[in-house]
Amino acid sequence: MTEAAPITLHPADAAGIERFCDQLWLEHGLSKNTLVSYRSDLSLLARWLRRQDILLDDADATAIKGYLAARLEQATRPTQAGFSGRQPVQRFGAGSQARFITVCRRYYGWLLRERVRSDDPSAQLDMPRLGRRLPKTLAMREVESLLAAPDAMQTLGLRDRAMLELLYASGLRVTELIRLRRDEINLEHGVVRLIGKGNKERMVPTGELALDAIREWLRHGRPQIATADSADWVFPSTQGGPMTRQNFWMLIKRYALQAGIRSPLSPHTLRHAFATHLLEHGADLRVVQTLLGHSDLSTTQIYTHVAKARLKALHAQHHPRG
């Protein structure tokens, strides 16, 4: 059986998607990863519509709902080819559906504002119900074991220990950590200056243990691997540029195994531990929101279970009828 030929994007669709992503970047400063996801969602829709001889900009609500139904159906049959003709079908859960509907609303809303269309077909799409997933985190003893795992007698061990200490001490996003520049960290004042999502700047304090680890790395480790290409980066890779997210993920998984941590980790695990442990020790939710760089408090409220548990414990400890 011959392999199905890949379905290519119509030039008009490809151009429209690129203009839309450029506009999102200019207006909202969305991250590269977000734009990649949006571009992928729209491209899959455009390829499916092309089979129906419909251009992306001309699709109506019925066509978009037809795509959603077909995508859900194919997601239950993973042996079939995807909409590109070659890529395997990926899981299309509630989170993926919600992101697809979000990007549709933004795309067709943009076409409406640009007067390319007079209606918005995405207005008829209903968001799926999303469960409120609690972020995976680590207990204090697990964090301590993970931070102690890198061998500080080795050059890369100094780097890795400093990265893990800073990640836990400041709650940085992984992308912010691996792309941290030397002029963005002030060791004297113990703060990191970041440009996060939405191109928003924030100042994040960090602890003495993290600062000591960074000083050790900069003094004794970084000069061993620094090159002209790595002049700007605090934590360069051995190739000279910044570390990739994938390489950092592999690094943290390796140290988790060394530390005897069996629960699955994600690149955000230490960021979640940072927020959780702050709240457990009495930090205000809005302070945590500022430190994490969340533009909306509702994003930080995934951690309210921690705050509620602390309030219950305080009530039980101090109230006469607790």
Active-site residue, selected from the candidate residues 106, 173, 179, 277: 173
Active-site residue, selected from the candidate residues 197, 202, 245, 253: 197
Active-site residue, selected from the candidate residues 50, 117, 268, 310: 268
Q: What backbone phi and psi angles, to 5 degrees, belong to 233?
A: -90, 140
In the numeric block, the tokens 């269309």 are attached to 117
Amino acid type, 137: T
**Which two three-digit tokens encode residue 293?**
């760089």
Q: What backbone phi and psi angles, to 5 degrees, belong to 217?
A: -65, -45
Instruction: Tell me which residue of 174, 154, 155 sits closest to 164, measured CA to CA.
Output: 174
Dist CA 118 CA 101 (whole Å): 19
Beta-carbon contacts of residue 106 (< 8 Å; ≥ 6 apart): 20, 24, 38
281 counts as catalytic: no
Assess contact for 162 and 210: CB atoms under 8 A. yes
Assess contact for 303 and 288: CB atoms under 8 A. yes
303 counts as catalytic: yes
173 counts as catalytic: yes
Active-site residue, selected from the candidate residues 159, 161, 271, 277: 271
Dist CA 200 CA 217 (whole Å): 28
308 counts as catalytic: no
Beta bridge pairs of residue 192: 185, 204
Assess contact for 94 and 131: CB atoms under 8 A. yes
CA 106 to each of CA 40, 42, 94, 123: distance values in angstroms, whole numbers, following the listed order = 14, 11, 18, 10
Assess contact for 164 and 252: CB atoms under 8 A. yes
294 counts as catalytic: yes
Dist CA 309 CA 83 (whole Å): 46
Residue ranges with strand state E in the chain: 185-186, 191-195, 201-205
Assess contact for 206 and 303: CB atoms under 8 A. no
182 counts as catalytic: no
By annotation, the residues acting in catalysis are: 173, 197, 268, 271, 294, 303
